[in-house]
Amino acid sequence: MTSQTIQAVRGMNDILPDEAELWEEFDQVARDWLRAYGYRPMRMPLVEPTPLFARAIGAVTDIVEKEMYSFIDALNGEALTLRPEGTASCARAVLQHSLLHAGPQRLWYAGPMFRHERPQKGRYRQFHQFGVEAFGYAGPDIDAEQIVMCARLWEDLGLSGIRLEINSLGSAEERQRHRAELIAYFERHHAALDADAQRRLHANPLRILDSKNPHMQDLIEGAPRLMDFLGADSLDHFKGVQTLLGEAGIPYRINPRLVRGLDYYNLTVFEWITDQLGAQGTVCAGGRYDGLLGQLGGKPAPACGFAVGVERLIALLKETFGDEPARSTAPDVYVAHQGELAARTAFRVADMLREAGCDVLLHCGGGSFKSQMKRADASGALLAVIIGDEEAREDSASLKPLREDAPQRRVPLDALAGEVGDYLFGDEQEREGQ
Ligand code: HAM
C-alpha cells in the first residue's frame, strides 16, 4: 500500500527560498519606511475570541458571515477565530493595555491573516498584511499622511502605476439617512436583487453596493449616493484630506462606490489599485474608523489605518522586476575541507570568519575537493577557503578567489580573518578610512 504525501491546505501557500528572499527584502524596505513615519511595532496573537470580529468588522459582512476560520476550543469550550484581519486585534490590544493613556499611538503589525475565500490568483486563504494603525488623531492630516506614506512605499520599492481611489463614508448619522433612502430604492427594484442582496437589504444595504454581481451593476450605479448625504463637518474633513493630497502631488480619483468590505469605517476610505495583477488588483486599503474603540467597549478615540496585501505586492514586484532578488544572497566565503582533522579545523575557521563579519557557507556532507569546488562556485561565493590534511597540520588554510583569475595561496590561520576581510571589504575599509 502506498501512502500519499500530504499537501498544504488549499489556499495556504508555502513560500520557498527564492521567493522568501524577495519577501525579506520587502520586509526590510517596509520596516525602514514605517520607522521613517514614526510607527512602532505591535505583535498580536493569531487567534482571538470570535465575538471580537463580529463586533468590529460587522455581523453582516462577507468576512464574518462566511469567511472566518472559527472553532470551539475543545479544552475549554471557548469560541475562537483565526484573525481575518489585524485592525480588530490591534484595537483590542490598544484598549486592553490602555495604550492611549500615554497619548496618541502610531502602530504597525505584520503577519498572516485567514479568510475562507475561493482561492484564485491574488486571493488566498492564508495571506499576509503589513497593517498600519494610528489611534487618537482626529484631523484629516493623519489620513493624508497615511495615503502619502503609501505613495512613498511604492516609490521606495520602485513600483509605478498604482492608482489611488478615495471616498468619504461620512458619519454614522449621515449613513443612517442614506441607508433609509438606499433601502427604499432597492425595495423599488426588489426583483432585480440577487439572493445575497435581498438578504442584506434590511440588515446592511451598504454592502449591496460592494456586490461584484455583474447583473446588479446598473442598479447599483443608479442608487442614491452617500456623498449627497454628507454634512458640513464630513465634507470639511474630506476637503482637508484632498487639499493635503493635492499639495503632496498625489493624483487620486473620488470613487463614490468605494464602500469597503468591513463595517467599522467612517469618513475617509481609500484603496490603491494596480491593473497589472488581473481581478485582485487592490494592493492596499484602509480608512478612518473613529467608532471602533467605543464599539469594542473602550473610551472612544479617533483612528485611521490601512493594510498592504503582501502577496499582491510581491506579485507586482515580480511583474515589474522579474524573479531575481535585487540583493545578492550569495555567501562571501565557501569553506571546503577533506580529512578528519581538516573537518574540525574548517568548522572552527567558518565560525571565526563569521565572527569577523563574513557570510560563510561551510561545506557539509563530504565529497572530493573537485565536487566541493563545484558547489563553492555555484554558491556564488567570492572566496573559497580550502583546508586539507596538510593545511590542518600546519594551522593554515588556502585562500582561492573564485570570481577572478588569481592564484591560490596559503595563509596561517591567525592571519586568515584579516586576509579574508582585506579581500572582501578592502575597498570599503579604505573608503571609510579616508
Ligand atoms: P482589507 O481590504 O480586507 O482591509 O484587506 C487589505 C488588503 O489585504 C487588501 O487590499 C488586499 O491587498 C489584501 N487581502 C485581503 N484579502 C486577501 C486575500 N484573501 N488574499 C490576498 N490578499 C488579501 C483590511 O484588512 C483592514 N484591516 C485594513 C485596515 C487597517 N483598515 C484600517 N486599518
DSSP states of 328-389: ----SEEEEE-SHHHHHHHHHHHHHHHHTT--EEE--S---HHHHHHHHHHHT-SEEEEE-H
Question: Is 198 inside any structural domain?
Answer: no
- Per-residue pLDDT reduced to its tens digit, 198-241: 988 998 898 898 888 999 999 999 999 999 999 999 999 999 99
Distance of alpha carbon 432 from alpha carbon 429, whole angstroms: 5
Ligand 1 atom closest to the CA of 86, numbered from 1: 27
pLDDT average per 10 residues of sequence, the chain (434 residues):
87 94 94 97 98 94 94 97 98 98 98 97 97 98 98 96 97 94 94 91 87 91 93 98 98 92 95 95 98 97 98 95 71 96 96 96 95 95 96 96 94 96 80 57
Give the C-alpha distances (Å, rounded to integers) separating 23 from 13, 296, 329, 413: 13, 34, 13, 37
Which CATH number does the domain housing residue 339 bear? 3.40.50.800
pLDDT at position 107, please?
98
Q: Is residue 206 part of a domain?
A: no
Indicate the residue among 272, 295, 321 that finishes a domain: 321
Centre of ligand 1 from the C-alpha of residue 230, in Å: 26
Segments forming the whole domain that contains residue 370:
333-433
State how far the Cα of 70 lies from the Cα of 117, in Å rounded to an integer.
14
Same domain, 49 and 134: yes
Residue 347 forms part of a structural domain: yes
> Are both 27 and 124 inside the same structural domain?
yes
Structural domain total, the chain: 2
Give domain status of residue 344, yes or no: yes
In whole angstroms, what is the distance from residue 94 CA to residue 135 CA?
Answer: 9
Measured CA to CA, the distance from residue 147 to residue 43 in angstroms comes to: 23
pLDDT of residue 2: 64
Cα distances (Å, whole numbers) of residue 243 to 23, 226, 248, 350 = 35, 21, 9, 58
> Who's near 420: CB < 8 A, 6+ residues apart?
332, 333, 353, 356, 358, 383, 385, 399
| Predicted local confidence at residue 405, as pLDDT | 93
In a domain, 182, yes or no: no
Residue 429: the pLDDT is: 59
Q: Confirm whether 359 is domain-assigned.
A: yes
Q: From the alpha carbon of 129, which atom of ligand 1 is closest?
A: 8
Residue 95 within any structural domain of the chain: yes
Query: Residue 193 C-alpha to ligand 1 middle, in angstroms?
Result: 27
> What SS3 state is found at 47?
strand
Atom of ligand 1 minimally distant from the CA of 87: 27
Distance CA 285, CA 306 (A): 5
| Residue 124 Cα: closest atom of ligand 1 | 20
| 147 and 253 co-located in one domain | yes
* Domain identity same for 294 and 427: no
Q: Ligand 1 atom closest to Cα of 289?
A: 32
Return the amino acid letter for 298. G
Whether 337 and 317 map to the same domain: the answer is no
Residue indicated by cell numbers 493613556: 101
Instruction: Identify the H or E element spanning 429.
Output: helix 413-433
Q: Which amino acid is at 255?
A: N
* Domain termination site, one of 321, 349, 381: 321
Based on the fold, state whether residues 273 and 342 are members of the same structural domain: no
Q: Which helix (H) or strand (E) holds 128?
A: strand 126-135
* 156 and 255 share one domain: yes
* Cβ 334 vs Cβ 379: under 8 Å: yes
CA of 152 from ligand 1 middle (Å) equals: 19
Residues 88/128, Cβ–Cβ less than 8 Å: no
The CATH number of whichever domain residue 111 belongs to comes to 3.30.930.10
383 shares its domain with 313: no
Q: Do 302 and 164 belong to one domain?
A: yes
The reply to whether 316 and 399 lie within a common domain is no
Does a structural domain hold residue 1?
no
If asked whether residues 49 and 108 sit together in one domain, one would say yes
Where among 321, 356, 386 does a domain terminate?
A: 321
In the reported structure, the alpha carbon of residue 265 is separated from the centroid of ligand 1 by a whole-number distance in angstroms of 13
- Binding-site residues, ligand 1, Cβ < 6 A: 85-87, 115, 117, 122-124, 127, 129, 131, 133, 261, 282-287, 289, 305-307, 309, 311-312
Q: What is the predicted pLDDT for the residue at 433?
A: 58
One domain for residues 123 and 264: yes
Per the DSSP assignment, residues forming a β-bridge with 17 are none
| CA-closest residue to ligand 1 atom 10 | 284
Centre of ligand 1 from the C-alpha of residue 84, in Å: 9
Ligand 1: residue of 137, 282, 295 to mutate (most ligand atoms within 8 A of CB) is 282
Å from CA of 250 to ligand 1 middle: 22
Q: List Cβ neighbours of 236 (8 Å cut-off, separation of 6 or more).
A: none
Give residue 367 CA to ligand 1 midpoint distance, Å: 50
Q: Cβ(150)–Cβ(244) under 8 Å?
A: no
Give the Cα separation of 370 and 155 in Å (integer): 46
Ligand 1 center to residue 400 CA distance, Å? 50
Q: Half-sphere exposure of residue 344, counting CA atoms within 13 Å on the CB side?
A: 6
Is residue 10 classed as helix, strand or coil in its secondary structure?
A: coil
